[in-house]
Structure 1
Amino acid sequence: MPSLPGDGTREAARRWLVHLRVAGVSRVRTLFTHHPRYADLTPVQYAEGLEWLRRTGLVSPSGRPAVNVGEGLPLDDADVPHVLWNAEDDERRSATGTAGERCLLALLRQAGLASVEHVSAVSDAFGYDIAATMPPDKHLHLEVKATTDPTRLVVHLSRHESDVMGADPRWIMGAVLVGRDGAALSVATVSRSWLLSVIPQDRSQRGTWESVRLDVPPEALKPGLIMEDGKSVLPGGSCATHGVWGMAAREAVSG
């Protein structure tokens, strides 16, 4: 790693690493510029801190932090922070997410649903990944979260996805366990009521959350793909493997 900059720029860099975990560069820059808590450093120091992080690879070109530092942890070469991001992991997560979406697209089409559309392939603006229609005329907006880990389910929810969930009663989160061959080993529905109970709340207009990491407990899961009225979307509990993510044989949640 190249030699460290001065104390002020290094502190600015540490603050960037903390706040880029939950918001983008433009929002964090606004926070540093307008919030009195961060006025002890200059805009130049914040700019130099971000530039140093990008130059050393501690922040990705898209603004994602590559390491995890806390509020009280100094950024120096005597204490190497825990790595959060690297290109290989990012590509692997992206491939898993794509595989999960393709799995559910195939299952929905096999189930005979009408107008199954992969809308996230067109734009992220929808706030969900798949749109489909259940007979006779019930619409389904499905947000897909995929993983290769059968022991625990961790999902990342964006602010936009959360806003769409709160406004759209047809929105459902489906979790997919993806096997090594890219096939769906298990499918579960994450409780909407649980999601609404755990998403963050903004404390002021000057600071808003942009994404959140959620560890989903077994009691917030239903095996299979279940609509809000309790109707199963996939026939015969397709890919509803019990025991995955701690789900019991007759797990049930309200939601």
Structure 2
Amino acid sequence: MLPAETVLRAAARWLRLLNGTHLAQAWALIRADSRYTDLTQTQYAAALQWLQTLKLVADAGRGDELAADVVALPEALLNVVLFERGLEHASPAWLADADQLIPDPTELPGDALQLAKVLGLTDAAAFNAALRVHGKIDLERRQLIGSAGELELVILLEDLYPGSTTHVALKHDGFGYDILFRYGEYEWHLEVKSTTRRGRLSVHLSRHEHDVGARDPQWRLVVIGLDEGLKLRALATAKHSKIMGRAPRDFSQLSQWASVLHQLGPDDLDAGLNLGDADVLDAAASCRCALQGIGIQSHSMFAWMPQLDA
């Protein structure tokens, strides 16, 4: 939760004061200047502690000066940074889905609007700042979930087919896929996208990953559903034609797309690890049969999971 409005106001004043004075001088102004005495010293102390938690002010005993990355910023930008750090620390429930829930500034939730009002930000500035915070948190979360999903798939494949996998993403992130999987004389290149979301399935694909998938007949896009403990609970393979057919198009050599966000549903996926094609149908069918079982008990946890074959 965000602090009370009085503490937010005190925090904004601390940033303004500490941008040009040291702690002792700032405290002296707060105690003596009528512009600051409308708030209590307890509220100022709580605000200072909050700023330390946000890493905007150094810990007590080290001078209590502004953090190096915000020193000398204009007041307006200091308030934007305070808005972003405060929102990130509070982590309201809507923040994880801000890109979907807040299409424009008029849809900002009440807590964000209150913080913006106290800091003197316009709704548009608060909207842009909230989306920046969402993007940072979303990226960090996706990286954590992505690594967990790759590891879960490696463990599963190794349990079924010992020695079959090489987790190439641990060694180099430029191959355009994460796992090299071998089955007999065949091999596949698995790009793994993982999620804990039960309803909406959003898959971020870089231009490089897409281009590798378009050129490499062994490339497959695999979707992993993880539970709250980041354990594998669902497994599906994206239909290649759907992924390639929806990619953006470059209309000029001077402007090229760099990444794409796919929204996928059951019709875009095959249950299990579907490696099938005309040349390796028998081998792929054997793999898929073994790996389809992952979703039998729990695929209904995920609305995006297709029904398993009978």
Structure 1 residues 86-137: Cα deviation after superposition (integer angstroms, max 9, x where no partner) = 34443222111111001100011011154411111111110000001012x1
1:196 is aligned, of 239, 244, 268, to: 244
- The aligned amino acid for 1:123 is H
Partner of residue 154, structure 2: 105
- Following the alignment from structure 1 to structure 2, what is the Cα–Cα distance between the partners of residues 130 and 119? 6
How is 1:180-195 mapped onto 2 (pairs within 5 angstroms)? Answer: 180-195=228-243
Partner of residue 78, structure 1: 123
Task: Provide TM-score, normalisation by structure 1.
Answer: 0.66
Q: How far is 1:160 from its partner?
A: 0.1
State the secondary structure of the residue aligned to 2:263. strand
- Which one has the largest radius of gyration? 2
- Following the alignment from structure 2 to structure 1, what is the Cα–Cα distance between the partners of residues 291 and 222? 17
Change over 3 Å in CA distance of 1:246–1:178 after alignment to 2: closer
Partner of residue 223, structure 1: 271
- The aligned amino acid for 2:144 is A
Task: Provide TM-score, normalisation by structure 2.
Answer: 0.55
Change over 3 Å in CA distance of 1:122–1:174 after alignment to 2: same
**Structure richer in strand, relative to its length:** 1
Structure 1 residues 152-173: Cα deviation after superposition (integer angstroms, max 9, x where no partner) = 2110000000000011000001
Q: How far is 1:251 from its partner?
A: 6.4
Unmatched runs of 5 consecutive residues or more in structure 1: 3-51, 60-66
How is 1:1-255 mapped onto 2 (pairs within 5 angstroms)? Answer: 77-79=122-124, 80-81=126-127, 83-86=130-133, 87-112=136-161, 114-135=163-184, 137-229=185-277, 231-232=284-285, 233-234=287-288, 235=290, 237-241=292-296, 242-243=299-300, 244-250=302-308
- Following the alignment from structure 2 to structure 1, what is the Cα–Cα distance between the partners of residues 305 and 220? 18
- Following the alignment from structure 2 to structure 1, what is the Cα–Cα distance between the partners of residues 151 and 255? 36
Change over 3 Å in CA distance of 1:215–1:85 after alignment to 2: same
State the secondary structure of the residue aligned to 1:126. coil
Unmatched runs of 5 consecutive residues or more in structure 2: 1-11, 16-75, 85-97, 107-120
More relative contact order in 1 or in 2 (CA 8 Å, sep 6+)? 1
The answer as to whether partners of 1:147 and 1:176 remain within 8 angstroms in 2 is yes
The answer as to whether partners of 2:200 and 2:303 remain within 8 angstroms in 1 is yes
Cα RMSD, aligned residues only: 3.5
The answer as to whether partners of 1:113 and 1:132 remain within 8 angstroms in 2 is no
- Following the alignment from structure 1 to structure 2, what is the Cα–Cα distance between the partners of residues 251 and 158? 31
- The aligned amino acid for 1:203 is F
Q: How far is 1:179 from its partner?
A: 1.1
The answer as to whether partners of 1:114 and 1:132 remain within 8 angstroms in 2 is no
- Following the alignment from structure 2 to structure 1, what is the Cα–Cα distance between the partners of residues 192 and 265? 17
State the secondary structure of the residue aligned to 1:174. strand
**Structure richer in helix, relative to its length:** 2
State the secondary structure of the residue aligned to 2:174. helix
- The aligned amino acid for 1:155 is V
Structure 1 residues 6-34: Cα deviation after superposition (integer angstroms, max 9, x where no partner) = xxxxxxxxxxxxxxxxxxxxxxxxxxxxx
The answer as to whether partners of 1:118 and 1:131 remain within 8 angstroms in 2 is yes
Q: How far is 1:245 from its partner?
A: 3.0
Change over 3 Å in CA distance of 1:207–1:153 after alignment to 2: same
